[in-house]
Amino acid sequence: MIRLIVGLGNPGERYRETRHNAGFMVIDHLTKRLKLRHYEECCFSHLYKKRVDGVDIYFAKPQTYMNLSGIAVKNLLNDLRLLPEEILVIHDDLDLPLGVTKIKFGGSSGGQKGVENIIKELGTKNFYRLRLGIGRPKEKREVVNYVLSPFSPEQRPLWERTVKKAGECVIRAITEGIEPAMNFCNRND
């Protein structure tokens, strides 16, 4: 059962609307949709909580920078007494076209530095990820600028639909289970 949803991003106003903050955007969407209240500052994270069928479900926005996300996630797991298999990490993915969503379990980081750091800190790849396609820049050397820039006005409507779909994926994961969530999320029509 998914008990902790972690949206990856960078703290601060400067990064708020950037592609790299895809995970934060989904958590922000869920705080509004589920009427989540700020629960506490814990483990280098803003933490929110919702009770679902008698079980506490936590939502976190690590306040470390993206490349150090594993520190926050490791502390959250220890403090909340959860296993890696009980987390769903939401992050941007350059390898998926803009608007595509995929839930997967385990595997490599795909070059995503936040996921890479989580794998390093936890010592395992065995956790769920909700990958949000942000597309890829034309030039490889432009990757850093690309992920740290906002979506274009033309991309914005598709991105907003992606955030809503990702929110629905999370809701299904915590209410119906990970398999129904995967079936919904991995279907990109």
Q: 15 labelled as ligand-binding?
A: yes
CB atoms within 10 A of CB 106: 13
Is 20 a known active-site residue?
yes
- Active site residue: 20, 29, 46, 91, which one? 20
Q: Give CA 100 to chain center in angstroms.
A: 14
Residue 147 to residue 20: CA distance in whole angstroms: 5
Catalytic residues: 20
> Annotated binding site, which residues?
15, 65, 67
> Annotated binding site for tRNA, which residues?
15, 65, 67
